[in-house]
Amino acid sequence: QVQLVESGGGSVQAGGSLRLACAVSGDIYRSCMGWFRQAPGKDREGVAAIYPGGGGTALADSVKGRFTISKDDAKNLVYLQMNSLKPEDTAMYYCAAEEGWCGTPIQALLTANYKYWGQGTQVSVSS
């Protein structure tokens, strides 16, 4: 059973930055890794994904130019660097993993594409 633990959430003002981290109990080199978020009353949505191996990425349009996903295969860590944060970025952020390829960039941001999930870390952005 793969376990994922997120960290790095917190409260920041608009324009600020946070870096989320996801520690994974298994080998992530051959896994598709994703970050998702869910605001109160809304569906969970894909934010970013990173492909196995070389690490190509997919980003939601709403975060392009502001968020970056990266990973450290040796440490089994996945990061989400969030810059220029906006109040609408406020949500619980979840890390997710799936064995193998992520599919197309659209598929990589779908919740149904992932088997393993963390418990989430809260991000709150004030105006």
Model pLDDT, residue 123: 98
Compute the average pLDDT of residues 44-64: 95
Q: How far apart are CA 113 and CA 81, in angstroms?
A: 22
Distance of CA 10 to the CA centre of its chain: 15
Q: What is the pLDDT of residues 65-113, one digit of tens each?
A: 999 999 999 999 999 999 999 999 999 999 999 999 999 999 999 999 9
Model pLDDT, residue 54: 76
| Tokens coding 70 | 């990266």
Q: Assess whether pLDDT exceeds 80 at residue 2.
A: yes
Task: Report the percentage of the chain scoring pLDDT > 70.
Answer: 100
Q: Vertex 67, ends 62 and 70: CA angle to 5°?
A: 135
**What is the pLDDT of the chain when averaged over all its residues?**
96
Identify the three-state secondary structure at position 36.
Answer: strand
- Where residue 84 falls (left for φ over 0; alpha for ψ -120 to 50; beta otherwise) is left
Model pLDDT, residue 68: 98
